[in-house]
Amino acid sequence: MYIFTVLVLLLLLIMSVILNRKKNFVLVGFYGIWLVVIILSGLKLYGLVEFSTRVYYVVLIGITGFTVGYIFMKNSKILTLSTKYKSGVTQDYQINIKILTKFLWVILFFYLIQLSKVISLLLNGVSWLEIRYYYYTTGILFNGFEKFFSTWVALPFIFFLLAPLLLNLFLDGFRNKKVFTLALFSVISHIIVTQGKELFIYWFMSICLCLAFNNKRLSKTNKKLIFRTLLFIIASIFIIQFSRNGQLSIDFLYNYLGISMTVMDHWLNYIDENNIMAYGLAFSNGILNIPFSLTEKITGFYPDFLMKINNELNYILSTGIMAFEGKRETTNVYITMFTFFYYDFRYFGVFIESLIFGLFIGASTKRFYASKRTLYHKTLYCIIALSAWCSFIYWGFFITPYLLSFVYLRLLFKKKINRDRGGQLSV
């Protein structure tokens, strides 16, 4: 089953490249990433815990559903997706740099406060490892308001919004030193406080996506700067890994790309053994959680049935399991999006919800290439594409910071109506 799954993904990857690599770049990346994950998982390196062949069936069912949905929507005429909605009238979006700058100031101030706490702990003899796994991961570093601000404001920007937005701004010729400086110091402060490497995964993917969607020729200067940025990201990953355990090796990369099948198998068994089913709420929980979380803070009300599903999913995401034989370290998060879909309706849920997701990505792709590919559209499509590329980690639309990045993106832009009057545009 391992070989068959690899061959299916390889065939899909080749077909998506042959048909139209540029316009199917999200699909190419989706198949490519899953192909790497399946190959590395199947090699079972470093004593990876065995997993059942069932996970291959789950992946194949999910990939099939996603592909059917994507192809159907991409080639259908159901939606007329164009920015032009009246003769001679188009809509556009203009970024508000002042609002962006204010957000960056507030986020930087927040992380500087956290950085002062980290420095204080280091001066008192607490190790980097303890700060990462005890103070930060368990939430002891933050008070109640800081936890809320981190999840609802800082992380949506730091993880999902800044990379595609700033890179697209840069490629469009934007050179505001204040914005880039604030963003740089905010990101550096976040990295020092959290010692997390996950941020670099999202930034690396975002850079690849932005370059693929960019419709302008890159200058030599821009190419060098982007290349140096990628080198900085790779170097930072190794530096953080060295700061944690004092070793400099590439073994840790397998923890990110080779364990999804083992982790998914564990939690599929957990779902079956406990006979739990979410009936579509695992798929939609993230979107429903945002308004109900706000009403809970105001009125104290949060639906019990939704709270139960939300708590179960958070338990699955946050609970570490032994992914490698003979190692004390535990692994969490990398449960894949298919675990969420399986939790809803078992194998049927994996197919139908993957199909719905494929429809969404296909529709988004269609809309993007029908648009004028402005800064707003490029950034929006990049964030959407991340949900497909990160599907080997989790279901992106369950994650609150990811969902809120769409909200903040819209807040940063104002809509412009352009009317063509005899060749002249008026706003």
**pTM to 2 decimal places:** 0.90
Mean pLDDT across the chain: 86
Q: Looking at this protein, which amino acid is placed at residue 129?
A: L
Residue whose token pair is 């070793």: 247
The pLDDT, as a whole number, for residue 204 is 87
Residue 165 to residue 160: CA distance in whole angstroms: 9
Let me know the angle formed at the C-alpha of 212 by 208 and 213, rounded to the nearest 5 degrees.
120
The pLDDT, as a whole number, for residue 141 is 76
Per-residue pLDDT reduced to its tens digit, 279-305: 999 999 999 999 999 999 888 899 999
Residue 362 to residue 23: CA distance in whole angstroms: 11
Residue 251's Cα: distance from chain center in Å?
Answer: 23
The pLDDT, as a whole number, for residue 381 is 95
Closest by CA to 232, choosing from 203, 208, 257, is 203
Q: Please, what are the averages of pLDDT over each run of 10 residues along the chain (427 residues)?
A: 95 88 85 95 90 96 96 77 49 87 96 90 81 68 86 94 92 86 91 81 88 76 77 74 61 83 95 95 94 90 93 91 80 91 96 97 90 88 95 95 96 77 41
The pLDDT, as a whole number, for residue 45 is 87
Question: How do the domains of the chain map onto residue ranges?
Answer: 2-78+260-333+335-372, 98-251
The pLDDT, as a whole number, for residue 237 is 72
Burial of 354 (0-12, 13-18, 19+ CB in 10 A): buried
Q: What is the 3-state secondary structure (H, E, C) of the chain?
A: CHHHHHHHHHHHHHHHHHHHCCCCHHHHHHHHHHHHHHHHHHHCHHHECCCCCHHHHHHHHHHHHHHHHHHHHHHCCCCCCCCEEECCEEEEEEECHHHHHHHHHHHHHHHHHHHHHHHHHHHCCCCHHHHHHHHHCCCCCCCHHHHHHHHHHHHHHHHHHHHHHHHHHHHCCCCCHHHHHHHHHHHHHHHHHHCCCHHHHHHHHHHHHHHHHCCCCCCHHHHHHHHHHHHHHHHHHHHHHHHHHCCCCCHHHHHHHCCHHHHHHHHHHHHHHCCCCCCCHHHHHHHHHHHHHHHHHHHCCCCHHHHHHHHHHHHHHHCCECCECCCCCCECCCCCHHHHHHHHHHHHHHHHHHHHHHHHHHHHHHHHHHCCCCHHHHHHHHHHHHHHHCCCCCCHHHCHHHHHHHHHHHHHEEEEEEEEECCEEEC
Closest by CA to 376, choosing from 325, 410, 348, is 410
The pLDDT, as a whole number, for residue 90 is 59
Q: Compute and round to an integer the Cα radius of gyration of the chain.
A: 22
Residue whose token pair is 């880039």: 180
